[in-house]
Chain A
Amino acid sequence: MSKEAVIQVDSLVKKYGDLAAVNGVSFTVNRGEVFSFVGPNGAGKTTTVEMLVCLRNLTAGKASVLGYDVSTRKGQQQIRKRVGVLPQDFNTFDLLTVKENLSYYKKMYDGGMDIDELIRLVDLEDKAKTLYKNLSGGLKKRLAIAIALVNDPEVIFLDEPTTGLDPKARRDVWNLIEGLQDQQKTIFLTTHYMDEAEVLSDRVVIISYGKIIADGTPSELILKYGGKTTLIVEEGGTEAHNILRKKFPDSKLENGDVLVPINSKSDLPEAVMTLNGNKIKFAELIVRRPNLEDVFLNLTGKKIVDGELS
């Protein structure tokens, strides 16, 4: 992956009256990487994307995409030719087929991808003549991503591409995004799903209340902010908790499960031996490594549940 910056954002601000939806964010996206903008609903993710794709004016700061200034008319014209966008909650013409929809949007550009090749890329060959309204939710998203690719863009903006999809459909979209990464496309992804950002991204920026609170690769962020590995004693109950907290004072009891932080290599076997030695009953032992959800929780004190802060 190259280190050429294709998106550069410096102290970007977007205000609506006194409300700062985006409050001085700065970041860089390099060519060929999958860059995720993660945060709860209302954090400023979509507003940031919409400024970068020239749908909204900046209040302050600077931003450029592929070297073109998003604030100038000339820059905006050039950016629109070169990027592909999947807006949030996008639906297309429900009485056009898959192929007809792709043809429609392709006409907005000079050149672009071959429609049949695009249909193969998103694995919609057997649905090419199906009306949009008759597609399932997952297939609709695949078509929407294909529409974002009609002009063979250098940079693709995907705004919440898996929101509302079932787990299988989400996985399908993930596979599609991974396929695009293999083609050296630069992908700017916004999502409130931490697992999605962790699986797909080369770099992650976590945003909350319009400000960036963390920036790095998933493993860097987890190492720095994710906390410790945890041993979960499922259904261990009060008995297991009382025994374990003698040796592991930071253990917690949550909904009948005991959570034991593992601080060193020896902690895990010691905890298991303690349970066995005391013949403690439990359903299962799970070793949970920290993830981006833990990162967000440790940084903000809150979780993201269904897109909202909890």
Chain B
Amino acid sequence: MGGALRVWFRSKHTLFWTFAFPILLMLLFGAIFSVSEDPSFDLYVQNQDLISGDPSPFSATFVAMLNETGVLKLKMVDPAENTAEYIDEKGVERLLLIPEGFHQSCLTSNASIVLKMVPVEVDTASATVRGIVEQIVEIFNTVTTGESPPEVVKIESESLVSENYRFIDFFVPGLIGMTLMTTGIFGAIGWNTRNRELGILKKLATTPLSKFEWIIGVVLFELVMCAVSTVVILTVGVLVFDLRVLPNIYSIILIAAGAITFPGIGMVIARFVKETDSADAAANAVSFPMMFLSGSFFPLEMMPEFLREIAKVLPLTYLNNGLRDSMVYGNASSALYNTAILLVVGTVFIIIGSLITNWRED
């Protein structure tokens, strides 16, 4: 027992899994699901019902009622904007359209609003937003007519996704993103720390191989590993779950960008943690929070504001968003935007990793 306890205490890897990991999970989940701050959900609103350039009275009232919930964070869209183009350009997941003529239609109890959303399978927040809008519509109807029926305003729903996808189709892009992250970070760390411990790095440093060539080799190897992982996920998805989303050219470029980014992060970590045990613990400490804070499993709106701000600086956020944009929504411009961010981040980390990787020991 005493010997086992000593071994346990001296193993940084084991200490992480025993103490730091559960504490990390508690802090993460506690922060994500904290009730100290009310959640708020983004809802884009385009009010096309104008009278002399100003919103009509009924439409203005409706928008004010939405705003007063305190749960919906309204983002007003210029009425002159082309709705479909705006949704594509901005990667909008929820948009409420108040069409022209809404005020007049309310007077004849024949009004409708169009709620364009991504399906609940993609975004669990959509269900919450829909529920809130339905409640507001019901209250609006009551206030307008003085009684519950008849319905003054009806809700028309439009899905922002053309295909009839299921949960697995929306889950797989996040799973690919998460796999690329763990493969890249753990792979790069493993190559550097383990090979340093064995003396392989020292031996290679005595050959004509340059540090930069070594790093590029590691990155290319991880690129291949990421490709293999992605193929495995997609193959299982297709054969077992009849997966309907498949990569296109944009998602392939994005996967390549991710495959460069995360090994770069791994190399930076490996510079500071020399032993394999410590390196594994450090890799877990970086990848686990990223996994949960990047929208892989929970919509960002469910998190407090400060966590949403943190998510904006996590590379996995952009990889997940980009993969969903390309594989599910077919939103090429958004996919390319996320790809560009990843390529910049990846290049920066590769350069930093190259500069600080300890090839010669001084």
Contact = CB atoms under 8 A, between A and B. Distances in A.
Contacts of B206: 53-55, 80, 83, 85, 87
Interface stretch (A35-43, A88-96, A255-263): A88-96
B362 A147 contact: no
B209 interface: yes
Given A81-B208, A91-B198, A105-B207, 10 more contacts: A80-B207, A83-B206, A85-B206, A87-B199, A90-B198, A93-B200, A108-B208, A108-B209, A109-B207, A147-B203
Interface in A52-107: 53-57, 77, 80-81, 83, 85, 87-93, 105
> Of residues B202, B204, B209, B361, which shows the largest number of chain A Cβ atoms within 10 Å of its Cβ?
B202
Interface of B: 198-200, 202-209, 360-362
B207 A108 contact: yes
Nearest to A84: B206
B203 A87 contact: yes
Interface string A102-145: 00010011000000000000000000000000000000000000
Q: Which 8 A-B pairs have the closest CB atoms?
A: A108-B207, A90-B199, A85-B206, A91-B198, A108-B209, A87-B202, A80-B208, A53-B206
Contacts of B207: 80, 105, 108-109, 151
23 contacts: A50-B361, A53-B206, A54-B360, A55-B206, A56-B361, A57-B360, A57-B362, A80-B206, A80-B208, A85-B203, A87-B199, A87-B202, A87-B203, A88-B199, A89-B199, A90-B198, A90-B199, A90-B202, A90-B203, A91-B198, A92-B198, A105-B207, A109-B208
B220 to A, nearest CB: 14
A92 B200 CA distance: 6
Contacts of B205: 55
Interface residues of A, number: 23
A115 to B, nearest CB: 16
Interface of A: 50, 53-57, 77, 80-81, 83, 85, 87-93, 105, 108-109, 147, 151
A141 to B, nearest CB: 13
Nearest to A80: B208
Nearest to B197: A91
Nearest to B359: A55
Given A81-B208, A105-B207, A55 B361 contact: yes
B21 to A, nearest CB: 29
Contacts of A147: 203
A12 to B, nearest CB: 15
Contact of A108 (B204, B360, B362): B204
Contacts of A57: 360, 362
A140 to B, nearest CB: 11
A50 B362 CA distance: 10
B162 to A, nearest CB: 48
A56 B359 CA distance: 10
A89 B197 CA distance: 9
A77 B210 CA distance: 10
B201 to A, nearest CB: 10
Contacts of A50: 361
B196 to A, nearest CB: 11
Contacts of A81: 208
B208 A55 contact: no
B45 to A, nearest CB: 59
A109 to B, nearest CB: 6
Nearest to A91: B198
Nearest to A107: B209
Contacts of A90: 198-200, 202-203
A158 to B, nearest CB: 12
B277 to A, nearest CB: 18
A207 to B, nearest CB: 20
B192 to A, nearest CB: 14
Contacts of B362: 56-57
Given A55-B361, A56-B361, A91-B198, A77 B203 contact: no
A85 B199 CA distance: 12
Contact of A56 (B203, B209, B360): B360
Given A56-B360, A57-B362, A77 B199 contact: no
A88 B207 CA distance: 16
A151 B208 CA distance: 11
A92 B202 CA distance: 11
A77 B203 CA distance: 15
Nearest to A106: B207
